Structure 1
Amino acid sequence: MGYIEELREVVGSRPLNLAGVAVAVFNEQGQILLQQRQNGIWGVPGGFVELGESTEEAGRREVLEETGIEIGTLQLISVFSGKEFFVKLPNGDEFYPITIAYLCKNITGGTLKADGIESLHVQFFDINALPEKISPFIKKLIEQNVVSI
């Protein structure tokens, strides 16, 4: 059982603040790596930070688990939090993510492949040709000119 599952046993579905990471990975052609999740929305790899794990470790782990890609140096972009990011899951669990966002421009290994669980598809996209259904995080990156179209 993971950390969040253990927390849920204690607090039920009440709202929580949960630390997470999101990693905008770019290839040598300047394309961004996106994954399509079960809900059909495209976004960058990421997930929750495990107990005792650094955010950088979490970022590398999530990218590898979800896309098969190994990455190098992470550059802090921003921290996203607040009411606009509130999530209510179908099972009733509620949380406010505190997402530490990173940029990575060096892929060090691995083979691009969706894990079939969290990622249905993984693909590099030109910034000016993003899929229609993109996550709020990608929209925020564009608004803040971290990535430009």
Structure 2
Amino acid sequence: MNQKWLEWAIELQSLAQAGLTYGKDVYDHERYERIRQISAEMIAYKTEIPLEKAKDLFCNETGYQTPKLDTRAAIFKDNKILLVQESNGTWSLPGGWVDVNLSVKENTIKEVKEESGLDVVADKIIAIQDRNKHNFPVYAYGVCKIFVLCSVLGGEFVENIETLGFDYFDESELPNLANEKNTKEQIAMCFEAYQSGKNWETVFD
């Protein structure tokens, strides 16, 4: 699907947010607010998301707009990769948004513990990817996805509100993936990084 309209909406929102942050003239602020409103209306019109929800998702920040960070942990056992089962039945690498008070490494370890119950060491950055270049649906804001190779120290699954359990999968027998979080290609990249060992060089967009 042609997503050019979404690129325009994202750029309008970004320009409006910067103008609201740095602009001094009260009349300019009114214009920037209207531009921001139009960007949300574009999202609502094209996606059928209610306008107020579109504004909450798309126009809820202040300051200069920057991408969000998402970490995903790649954990292997017997040449199989660990995936956690989401509450909707799909599967993903353990991970999530980076908390404001945590580093990428700390957040990766925390998310693995919360979603799988395992204690891990974060060993190496596999890749840093622009989410909108690799995952669908395209989001109306930027996300940098950071894939991290991890080693297990111990632990066991604990019932939680995010996941139903975890299992290890061969690359040729992957379950139904949560493609908005990780694709077959991204899983394959993690396998390649694991099998390459010390020869792997971080991939980034």
Instruction: Indicate the TM-score class for this superposition, using the shorter chain for normalisation.
Output: 0.7 to 0.9
Amino acid at match of 1:96: G
Question: 1:97/1:112 Cα in 2 relative to 1: closer, same or farther (>3 Å)?
Answer: same
Alignment size in residue pairs: 129
Which structure has the higher relative contact order (CA within 8 Å, separation 6+)? Answer: 1
Q: 2:169 aligns with which of 125, 129, 142?
A: 125
The DSSP-based 3-state class of the residue aligned with 2:57 is: coil
Query: Do 1:20 and 1:47's aligned partners in 2 also have CA atoms closer than 8 Å?
Result: yes
TM-score by length of 1: 0.73
Amino acid at match of 1:19: L
Q: 1:140 aligns with which of 168, 185, 196?
A: 185
By how many angstroms is 1:109 displaced?
1.3
Structure 2 unaligned blocks of 5 or more? 1-54, 60-64, 193-205
Residue identity over aligned pairs, in percent, reads 28
Which is higher, the Rg of structure 1 or of structure 2?
Answer: 2
1:110 aligns with 2:155: yes
The DSSP-based 3-state class of the residue aligned with 1:64 is: helix
Provide the rounded CA distance (Å) in 2 between the counterparts of 1:129 and 1:86.
22
By how many angstroms is 1:142 displaced?
4.5
1:12 aligns with 2:56: yes
Q: Which moved more, 1:43-52 or 1:59-68?
A: 43-52
Query: Do 2:81 and 2:170's aligned partners in 1 also have CA atoms closer than 8 Å?
Result: yes
Question: 1:82/1:59 Cα in 2 relative to 1: closer, same or farther (>3 Å)?
Answer: closer
By how many angstroms is 1:88 displaced?
7.7
Moved over 6 A (4+): none
The DSSP-based 3-state class of the residue aligned with 1:50 is: coil
Provide the rounded CA distance (Å) in 1 between the counterparts of 2:159 and 2:127.
26
Amino acid at match of 2:83: L
Higher helix share: 2
1:23 aligns with 2:69: no
Higher strand share: 1
